[in-house]
Structure 1
Amino acid sequence: MTKTVTGTYESTTQIKNARNDLIAIGIPQEQIFVDEEKQQIKVRIANETEPEIQEILKQHDASSTTVTTD
């Protein structure tokens, strides 16, 4: 089962920094989606990595984070 963790931000700089950190911990780029219009980053992940992804998104001051099951 996979989940999508979404972080909403106020700037594209925050999104870029979060994306770089996600890649640095080994999240494949093809699992990271940036929606610049909505100022969101979405990460498709397996269940066991959800807490780590949420922590990274929060470290970059996400105004909100949500998790949906795919």
Structure 2
Amino acid sequence: MMKRVPTVLVLSKSLFYRLRVVVSKANDRGDVPGWVLVAVMTAGLVTAIWLIADDALTSVFDRAMTSVSVRN
């Protein structure tokens, strides 16, 4: 009888943990709408900044490339 009690406890504990994992996975839907919103807003901000500062960004890039270019 003493040997059966620990075995029953181990099996019930194992079953409890497995059920908990299954239930937690079933309720885990993630935050897809939040990530979609972040991605869309980031794309919108990049587009807006690009439209507003296109000339300034182009000149900064050209100056940076000129300053690091190899001169003969």
Q: Structure 1-normalised TM-score?
A: 0.24
Higher helix share: 2
* Greater RCO (Cα-Cα under 8 Å, separation 6 or more): 1
Q: Structure 2-normalised TM-score?
A: 0.24
Higher strand share: 1
Q: Give the greater-gyration-radius structure (CA).
A: 2
